[in-house]
Structure 1
Amino acid sequence: MALRVGRIPFLVCAPFFHDFLGRESEFSDVEFVDGPPSAHCAGLKNGSIHLSPASSITFAQKPGAFVLAPDICTSCSFEVRSVKLFSKVPIEDLSHKTVCLTAQSMTSINLLKILLQERFGLSPEYKSAPYAASDDACLLIGDQALEENERHRFAYDYDLGALWQDWQHVPFVFGAWIIAKSALEPGLEQTLLRYLQATRESIGRFRENPSKCLDRWLARYPVDLPRTVVENYYSALDYSFTDERKRSLSLFFEHAAALGLIKRVPTLEFL
């Protein structure tokens, strides 16, 4: 059986996956499945994939089914730049206004709801549909958010990573390497451990020479952004799952449970 890995073809995940492109024959026991975080959230829960750097809230949506890689995550240094609320009006005026939600990431959706309700005391009208000109605001993630940054179509934009850190004083964890416990069975566990070590090496190579690594990534997954914007983006990102970030993830789950967005606060369980 192959280890099925959910691969997210967004710039934010390039450090995780660039080093595997063109080296598939070296990982014949690994099968990559491309899709957005929402697809891999569903795949983890229904058993169609074994692991992914998926939306962090996935871990809490099926308690007891997963473990986390202990040292790798997707976080930021204050601003994340690729998870943003774009608005026609100041954030304080969004009560009873229409906010369109991306379908790509449940973590970002729930983070936005927590921020608007608990930090700002707002009750907007949420709409799970693409943004229309008549709408007041929209939540975008990933490459779509980075591209919207360059268009300057909205009077206001808010970085959700910055809003969380300014409020809670810890960096937000947007994605964690979530591993289904089925991948810990004898037939897959050694492949899993080898794959995660290769992922750590991939991150290390990206840090050493991001421009060269991006050449490989962008040849497979091009974006409509200036190269300088792409390369500068990584100055905001951090992939180390520190103790501080683990506390932040637990805090996020506490707020989500308080608002009924998840059933209960899970205990973090690591590989």
Structure 2
Amino acid sequence: MSVVIGEISYTNILPFFYHLDRDALKKRNCQFIPQVPAQLNQEMASGRIDIGGISSFAYAENANAFTLMPNLSVTSYGAVGSIYLFSKVPLQELDGKKVALTLSSASSVHLLKIILEHFYSLSISYTMMKPDIGTMLLEHDACLLIGDDAIVAKRENSDSLYNYDLGDIWYDQTGLPMTFAVFAVRNETLRDHTSLVGYIYRSFLESKLRSESENYQPMIADIVKTYGGNKSFWDKYFLKLCNDFGPQEQRGLSYFFEVLYKMNYIAEPIKTLNIWNTDVTIK
């Protein structure tokens, strides 16, 4: 039986995958499936993907089925640089207006709802749409884009629209980091393939550490070729991101879940995060 690894198709998670020895993992019967976060979330929940990066909200919806991996996340302490609300009017004037939400992400959609409804007490009409800023703003007053879609839209529309970085707003309001994506494994996969899961986890961790030690330079050179933009933008982008998942990142995530429960966006409170104790299980 193979272990299926989900790979979010955005640059912000690339440090964990860039230096993976994919051939070695495939020889150990691992498969890779690249998808946008929303698709990956569904595949993890259904059991078709066993391990990988998923949106934080997807963990909240399936906390009893997943175990989180320590030291791995996509987190920001302030501006994240790839999750934006683009608006025709200032944010405070969106009360009673229409906002288009990307179909690509669950965490960012619910973070925006927390910002608009909980922090600013606005009443908003939402529509889920494919991530295309032109189409989204035809009949809506604002739109949410994430990942590379947001990066390109910011580059091309920064002078014509108000733009708000959701990580920046969250940090200003809470003083806590925002964890957008976590690395999770299905509980039955961890139980049945503990040794292989340990190998995969170490591979993620080693890729992350090597990416950081290189200041992301080989990876950024490839990104510029593939996605465009200038090197200085990507240098600043990755240096702003936090790849860790320690006590402070976990505290911020727990508060995110607390607010989600208060707003009835998740059915059950998440009192503790189920984090794998790798010191015990990995030798």
1:269 aligns to what? 274
Task: State yes or no: 1:172 paired with 2:170.
Answer: no
Q: What's the CA shift for 1:184?
A: 1.2
CA-CA distance at 1:132 after TM superposition: 3.3
1:162-220 Cα shifts (integer Å, max 9, x gaps): 1111111101010111211021133x21111111111111011111221213345666x
Q: CA deviation at 1:77?
A: 2.6
* 2:83 counterpart letter in structure 1: V
Distance 2:174 2:54 in 1: 22
CA shift in 2, pair 1:55/1:92, >3 Å: same
Runs of 4 or more consecutive aligned structure 1 residues displaced over 4 Å after TM superposition: 216-219
- Tell me the residue number matched to 1:190: 195
CA distance in 1, matches of 2:42, 2:199: 25
Distance 1:86 1:248 in 2: 25
Aligned to 2:204: 199
Determine the C-alpha separation between the residues in 1 that align with 2:152 and 2:233.
10
Task: Please say if 1:238 is aligned against 2:238.
Answer: no
Counterparts of 1:77 and 1:149 in 2: how far apart (Å)?
A: 20
| Aligned equivalent of 2:95 | 95
TM-score (norm 1): 0.94
1:117 has 2:117 as partner: yes
Tell me the distance in 1 between the aligned counterparts of 2:11 and 2:191: 32
CA apart distance, 1:140: 0.5
Tell me the distance in 2 between the aligned counterparts of 1:218 and 1:48: 32
Could you report, residue by residue, the CA deviation over 1:105-130 in whole angstroms, capped at 9, with x for unpaired residues?
10000010011111000011111124
SS at match of 2:145: strand
Q: Is the 8 A contact 2:9 2:35 kept in 1?
A: yes
Q: Distance in 2 between matches of 1:40 and 1:121?
A: 31
The correspondence for 2:213, drawn from 190, 208, 211, is: 208
Q: Separation in 1 of the partners of 2:13 and 2:257? A: 23
Cα distance between partner residues in 2 of 1:126 and 1:79: 24
Q: Distance in 1 between matches of 2:22 and 2:121?
A: 49
How far off is 1:261 after superposition? Answer: 0.7
Which letter does structure 2 place at the counterpart of 1:206?
A: S
- Percent identity of equivalent pairs: 28
Which sections of structure 1, spanning at least 5 residues, go unmatched? Answer: none
Partner residue of 2:151 out of 139, 146, 151 = 146
Q: Which amino acid aligns with 1:24?
A: R
In the TM superposition, what are the counterparts of 1:49-64 in structure 2 within 5 Å?
49-64=49-64
Q: Bigger shift: 62-71 or 141-150?
A: 62-71
* Residue of structure 2 aligned with 1:223, choices 209, 213, 227: 227
* Structure 1 residues 155 and 215: CA distance shift in structure 2, 3 A: closer
Residue type at the aligned position of 1:179? V
Q: Cα distance, 1:231 vs. partner?
A: 2.6
1:78: how far off? 1.0
Counterpart in 1 of 2:129? 129
Q: Which runs of 5 or more residues in structure 2 are unaligned?
A: 131-135, 277-283
Query: Deviation per CA, 1:221-245, whole angstroms, max 9, x where unpaired?
Result: x214233322321021001112111
Q: Secondary structure at the match of 1:49?
A: coil
For this pair of structures, how many residues does the alignment match? 266
Post-superposition CA distance 1:125-169 (Å, at most 9, x none)? 111124132321000000011111111254311111111111111
Alignment-mate amino acid for residue 194 of structure 2: E
Match of 1:14 in 2: 14
Which secondary structure state, in structure 1, belongs to the residue aligned with residue 140 of structure 2? coil
Residue 280 of structure 2 aligns with which residue? none
The residue identity in structure 2 corresponding to 1:115 is: I
CA contact (8 A) 1:16 1:202 kept: yes
Taking the aligned partners of 2:142 and 2:115, their CA distance within structure 1 comes to 15
Q: CA RMSD in A?
A: 1.5
